[in-house]
Every structure is written in C-alpha cells, then in structure tokens.
Amino acid sequence: MSALPIIVKREFTKCWIVHPPIGNVVMKNTSRLCSTKPIVTVNGKFPGPTIYAREDDTVLVKVVNHVKYNVSIHWHGIRQLRTGWADGPAYITQCPIQPGHNYVYNFTITGQRGTLLWHAHILWLRATLHGAIVILPKLGVPYPFPKPNHERVVILGEWWKSDTEAVINEALKSGLAPNVSIAHNQRPSRACPKLFFHRWLHTRRRPRKNVPSSANQRCTQRRTLLQDRRPQINHRRSRRCIRKTLQNRHNPNRPGPNNHRNPNHGQTPRQIHSGGVSLHGHAGGGGAFFKIKGVFTTDFPGNPKIAFNYTGKPPASFATENGTKLYRLPYNSTVQVVLQDTGIIAPENHPVHLHGFNFFAVGRGLGNFNPEIDPKKFNLVDPVERNTIGVPSGGWVAIRFRADNPGVWFMHCHLEIHTTWGLKMAFLVDNGKGPNESLLPPPKDLPKC
C-alpha cells in the first residue's frame, strides 16, 4: 500500500481531496505465480493506491506518465456531473496522456457513497493499472448498515505471465482470440497455486482530534492512504437509513409510476439497442464541445440494422461497418436501452458498463426481447440501481436512465477483448438550459492528440 499523503482542506461545506501526485505511472518488476515481469503501475504498487474521499468532496488527482504507453484513467462509477473531461476513456472524452506528460483529473463526488474502482481506460493497461475508491458518508452521517466486525477492500484481479499489450497485438494480427489469463482471484503461496487475489486491509481507528464533527466547521487534515479516518457512526439510525435509501418508493430518482420524476414522463422512453463505435485519432467529447467537423456523426442506429433470431442461428454474414457514430439525446430525456445477447460465435454473459450515469435495471429475461409482452413485466416500483450490469447469456436486460448529464458518455462491454472487437457505443447528451445544465469548459491541461 502506498503511504502517500492526502491533503484534505474543508472550507465551509466544500472539501478538496488532493493526492500529490497519486499518478506516477511507472514500470515495476512484479512477481506472481513464480514468475517476474515488468508491469505498468501507479507509484510502483500493484494494485494501485486506494483513494478515500467523502460524499460531496472534490477530488484532484495528478497523473504523470513515465512509461512508453499512452495512459488514461477512468473513475468507474463516478457520475462526473458536468465534468466529462475527467471521465477518462481515451478518445471519448479525452486524448490520452502521452509519455512524459501529465493531467489533473478534477471531479466532485455528488450523491454517492460506497466502494468503486479506478482503472486505466486505454489499450489493455487495466490488467495492472487499477485500484479502489472508497467514498465515505458526509461527516456526521451514518453508514446505511450495522457496524461490521472488520472492514477490508478486496480487489479481484488477473495475472498474465505475458505482456498484455503483446497478447492483444498478436490476437489482432492473427484474427484469433487472445491467449487466456492464467490466474485470477487468489493470492499465490510458495507452492504457486493458479489463483490469486489482492486484499487491502484498512484498520478502523478513532478520528483525530482535528477532524470536525460537523461539515460546517473548517478543517485541515493530513492522512495516509492506509489510515482512513472515518466518522463516528450512529448505528441505531442505520436500519432507518436502509429503509429510506433502499426501500423508499417515493424516491424521486426511481422509475416508479407515482411521482413527478417518473422516467416515462407520460411518454414512451427512447428505445435504443447497443452497437459499436470506432476509437481512433480524436476525442469525441472535444469534437462535440468545439464543434469540430468530421470527428463523428450522430446517426448511430436506435435498432439493429439486421433483424434475426438473436439467440438462434445467426445469418451467414453481416455487412459490418466501421465508424464513429454517436446516439444523440436531448437533455433530461428518459432513455430505455435493451441489451440483447446473441448466438453469434456463442452466447455469453456480457458485463455492460455505462459511463456518466447510474441506471435502473427494470427487466431481464432469456431468449429474444419481445417489445409487446416483456415491458408488461418490468419492475417500475423498486428496481436495482447500477452502473454495470450482466446481460444474461442467451437473454436480454432492459435499463432506464435520465439523460441529465451533458457530454459524451461511453457504454461498452467490460470484457476487454469485447471492447477491442467493437462491443461499444457512446451517447451525446445535449446541454440543457443555463450553466447548471451545461458541460463545463475543458481544463487548460486537457491532453492533446
């Protein structure tokens, strides 16, 4: 674990978390499964350092690239409200950080608590360039669960004996599937078992005396990545908090039928099916903001161009197209996306991740989605809220979200090879009315292609 300090400065109700710098991206010889190889790391650590912050904190992370690869970092699950420039997917919202250059990711954590993930979002560097984000409640706010006996951050990862960039380059050259990972999910002992896992232990300690009990008080606090100072927790309020946050059917963000923010808004949600987008040469977000012509078009199809029995035998051939096409959404529109698995090559479970939004999983099933029958079974009362969801093997899942975050937002399968092969697309969400509903201007140090 890194012992880099985190500087926390809280003025009135605003807090800045500064890691100076978290992101020294360097090569490090690392051993697993009785083998040693150089890997790309943050600060020489594998996995990388944990970021601790609180709800409503503003986080600034300076990433300095000391390796030969282009680098970008994605903050998986952070909504990035109006700060798409800090989202991280290369050639979507930013050009990558080139060797010898740096970039400061600057974003505010709004309305979120829990444990999320940061990882590289270019090439296959995510295999070693990743870590956890622990979002604590606001000062004085309890956790929505009883006090655990112990707390640990557990990261499940893979270990490749070969260089992952060499693996994917060879696969693309040959047209074959890449060699599979040889290890995941367990820590190797001296006997070198096949599985390994990363476990980060952070112990509970009492807060220091200079930590205020109210967010309205000013504070200056220094802490290390290993030593998180958490608020005192009123566990008697925990169960009430669970009921309030997880079971409240009047939650204005829920897609239920009985409140004024019903995602249906009295109309049929926009129906969208997934597809692909090419990622080369320019950042789509920059092209949209600066109105650069020729970077992308907004004619991504809302339905598959070729209809067939998706979970049955596929057609003999497809007229596959390459392009950079986005699906345009008006600000604050209600969106329904049906993700349908297919039998092409073989049915498979796909973990699909949407950047920039949380969504509600309103329905799922096996076989082909039936637009006449299946929506009648949707859960519009208390659906689960996610940012990533598994599309059932040989089945479908329906999600809904409110397009209330302007910018360009990536949606893709989180299996690295599937993203490489084209299981990806992006939404362009228009600005709303006024500055509070508009994408912020890009920072001065935004990387250039």
* pLDDT tens-digit map of 170-205: 999 988 888 775 554 434 433 443 333 333 333 233
Within a 10 A sphere around the Cβ of 35, how many other Cβ atoms? 14
Rounded to 5 degrees, what angle do the CA atoms 107, 112, 113 make? 115
Token pair of 166, please? 């060499």
For the chain, count helices (H), then strands (E): 4, 24
Nearest CA to 143 out of 241, 55, 25 is that of 241
User: Which of 362, 355, 348 lies closest to 397, judged by CA?
Assistant: 362
Domains of the chain from N-terminus onward: 5-246 (2.60.40.420), 270-437 (2.60.40.420)
Q: What is the pLDDT of residues 300-309, one digit of tens each?
A: 999 988 889 9
Position 301 scores a pLDDT of: 93
Tell which residue, 235, 404, 276, 248, has the closest CA to residue 335. Answer: 404
Do the beta carbons of residue 105 and residue 294 sit within 8 Å? no
Amino acid at 191: A
DSSP code of 42? E
- Nearest 5°: the CA angle 417, 116, 443 is 85
DSSP letters spanning 106-175:
EEE--S--EEEEEEE-STTGGGTSEEEEEEEPPTTPPPSSPPPS--EEEE--EE-SS-HHHHHHHHHHHT
380 closest CA partner among 272, 251, 275: 251
Token pair 């809904």 in the structure block, residue:
400
* CA separation for the pair 46, 66 (Å, rounded): 16
Cβ–Cβ < 8 Å for 406, 439:
yes
* Backbone φ and ψ of 240, nearest 5°: -65, -35
| Burial class of 16 by CB neighbour count within 10 A (0 to 12, 13 to 18, 19+) | middle
Phi and psi at 284, nearest 5°, equal: -60, -40
How far apart, in whole angstroms, are the C-alpha atoms of residue 398 and residue 375?
Answer: 9
Q: Which two tokens stand for residue 99?
A: 């060797």
Query: Rounded to 5 degrees, what angle do the CA atoms 6, 53, 93 make?
Result: 100
3-state secondary structure of 265: coil
Closest of 77, 87, 99, 81 to residue 26, by C-alpha? 99
The per-residue pLDDT string of the chain (449 residues; one tens digit each, 9 = 90 and over) reads 333 333 334 443 455 665 544 579 999 999 988 889 999 999 999 999 999 999 999 999 999 999 999 999 999 999 999 999 999 999 999 999 999 999 999 999 999 999 999 999 999 999 999 999 999 999 999 888 887 888 899 998 888 888 999 999 999 998 888 877 555 443 443 344 333 333 333 323 333 333 222 223 222 222 222 233 333 333 343 333 323 333 333 344 444 433 333 444 334 455 554 433 333 344 556 666 656 778 899 999 999 888 899 999 888 877 778 888 999 999 999 999 999 999 988 899 999 999 999 999 999 999 999 999 999 999 999 999 999 999 999 999 999 999 999 999 999 999 999 999 899 999 999 999 999 999 999 999 999 98
What one-character-per-residue DSSP string does 285-340 give?
Answer: HHHHHTT-TTS-BS---SS-SS---TTSPPPS--------B-EEE-TTEEEEEEEE
The DSSP output letter for 372 is: T
DSSP H helices in 156-258: 164-174, 238-246
Helix (H) or strand (E) holding 258: none
* pTM of the predicted model over 0.85: no
Q: Is 145 left (phi over 0), alpha (psi -120 to 50) or beta?
A: beta
